[in-house]
Amino acid sequence: MLSNSLFSFTKGVRRPDASHISFLLLFICLTFSCQNSFCLKKPTIPNWILEARNKWTYRGQKRPPFAIEPKAGQVSVWDFPRPPSVTLVDAVVRVFFEDTLLAKTDGCLAVKETANPPTYYIPPHDVDFDQLVEIDTTSWCEWKGKAGYWALKQSPKSPIAWDYPNPFDEYEQLTKYLAFYPHRLRCFIGDEQITPQDSTIYAGWITKDLVGPFKGQPGSENW
């Protein structure tokens, strides 16, 4: 009969008991649920994002005539690639609001894009979220995807950081890492306090070894 042979096995193999069957059914249910609801699906890239990726004039392959020639020990932001690269920072990175430490890490990731000072992304486990609050603001990056924003609890209307909860596949390693706007903060790479990028949109960290000019000034929109 089918009922007697449904779980029949070859000779010498023990027939599963009720606990085994229950576990198997639970596993199947969880797998199905994960695929259909619980698991966060990676976003697809819409056409307008692809169009935005193609609009840039410079992509790090050749410096423009107006680029500052780097001297020995200097780095030109015009040598950074586009799409941006992601590299591990070989230094301790710290972020302060006044004298309050918001983040400290030796696992920071630097995102380097043509014409821009790097932005620095800090692992979430190295951020003091007791000082922060997530706010209802979002934006889109044509390379990394949809960003969410964070503010100080004492000043919840002014974002000081952003992250990518579910970035495009190419930048999956940045998932939930926080990048901080340096304009209202004190940010350090090693012992060097960085200079904020002069922009109301971009949030690059300028170190002493970088030469530009840097994107963000008037007329640089398509750099």
Residue 15 confidence (pLDDT)? 54
**Beta strand residue intervals within the chain, DSSP E:** 75-76, 85-88, 93-97, 100-105, 109-112, 119-122, 132-141, 145-152, 155-163, 178-180, 186-189, 192-193, 195-196, 205-206, 210-211
Residue 14 confidence (pLDDT)? 52
- Predicted model pTM: 0.81
| Contact (CB, 8 A) for 205 and 112 | no
Residue 24 confidence (pLDDT)? 52
Nearest CA to 174 out of 114, 97, 103, 110 is that of 110
Cis geometry, peptide bond prior to residue 83 (ω within 30 degrees of 0): yes
At residue 205's C-alpha, the angle toward residues 153 and 180, to 5°, is: 20
CA distance 91 to 194: 13
Residue 103 confidence (pLDDT)? 99
Domains of the chain: 47-211 (2.170.150.40)
**Mind listing the pLDDT tens digit of every residue in the chain (223 residues)?**
444 444 443 444 455 555 555 555 555 444 444 444 445 567 788 899 999 999 899 999 999 999 999 999 999 999 999 999 999 999 999 999 999 999 999 999 999 999 999 999 999 999 999 999 999 999 999 999 999 999 999 999 999 999 999 999 999 999 999 999 999 999 999 999 999 999 888 999 999 999 999 999 888 988 9
CA distance 33 to 27: 10
Residues β-bridged to residue 161: 150, 180
Residue 22 confidence (pLDDT)? 52
Residue 43 confidence (pLDDT)? 75
Residue 18 confidence (pLDDT)? 53
CA distance 87 to 19: 48
Residue 13 confidence (pLDDT)? 45
Residue 46 confidence (pLDDT)? 87
